[in-house]
Amino acid sequence: MSRSLALLLITVLVLSSLVMVGSVFAQSIPKPSVPEFTVNYVDHSYYVPPTYGTAPYTGDNITIQGGYTVDNRSIEFTIKNQPFTPYNDANGNLISLYYHVHAKGHYEKEWGTPYKYINSSDSEYTIASYTMGEHSINKILMEITIGDTLDFQVEAQVGYYTRVYTSLYQSYYNFTGVSSGWSETQTLTIGESQTPTPSPATTPSPLPSPYEIPIIGVAFIVIVFAAGLGLLIYLIKRK
């Protein structure tokens, strides 16, 4: 083997190793496990009785305000957390664990994503509630009524969100990071008394340290490079 060919092969090996290092660091955000969760319909509505008084000029009993019902219904998600410690990446972005929910009518084919992301809590479970009825900011939850059946799925996300403005008053949240993929489907009939069936139980593996994956990857690349370099030196000496 000629010296020039050997140098060329070494150069190619070095460049390939650098590309692999870049790839490893680009993929350093660990992939979370598919989350376990339950979903419930919760009704804390209550009735406010009428108030009565006396007419100041006649002495008659009068109704000052009629009775009314305060609508306080919601859909509540209970999500089992997986071990994760937030950290800042090289660009200063806070890498955190989130959950994202999407839903559809039970007899629909297409899933929608009407729900904002959920920040994970520091406890064993993350609990998130979405208001129903006329006070809901969500169109789907504003329109559904007793007896309607919905399907829900949840995915875990590790990364960060940024708010993107499309106009002065309109915006959306863009996610950068790694997602677990969607969970098994949970079906909920609004108003029914039910014992929720959780998604199949799994034991979430602790997410790797943010530095663990790059270190392992770089160590592997260094070993491959050293082995290739040693082989080239051996071939040159034989020549």
Q: What is the pTM for the complete model shown?
A: 0.65
Q: Which helix (H) or strand (E) holds 140?
A: helix 139-143
Q: What percent of the chain has pLDDT over 90?
A: 42
pLDDT at 16 over 90: no
Q: How many Å separate Cα 171 from the centre of its chain? A: 19
Please answer whether residues 153 and 185 qualify as being in contact, where contact means their C-beta atoms are separated by less than 8 angstroms: yes
Predicted local distance difference test score (pLDDT) of residue 99: 96
Res 67: pLDDT: 93
What is the rounded average pLDDT of the residues 91-101? 94
Cα atoms in the Cβ-side hemisphere of radius 13 Å centred on 62: 9
Q: Given pLDDT bands bounded at 50, 70 and 90, which one contains residue 70?
A: confident
pLDDT for 234 = 56
148-205 pLDDT tens trace: 999 999 999 999 999 999 888 888 889 999 999 999 999 999 886 554 444 444 444 4
Please give the average per-residue pLDDT across 98-122, as a whole number: 88
Rounded distance between C-alpha atoms, residue 227 and residue 238, angstroms: 17
- What is the mean pLDDT of the segment spanning 112-131? 87
CA distances from 218 to 19, 44, 115, 225, 227 (A): 11, 55, 39, 10, 14
CATH 3.40.640.10 holds for 35-45+72-207? no
Q: What are the extents of the domains in the chain?
A: 1-28+211-239, 35-45+72-207
List the structure tokens of 130.
């979405």
Residues 6+ apart with CB under 8 A from 174: 161, 162, 163, 164
- Asked if residues 152 and 112 have their Cβ atoms less than 8 Å apart, the reply is no
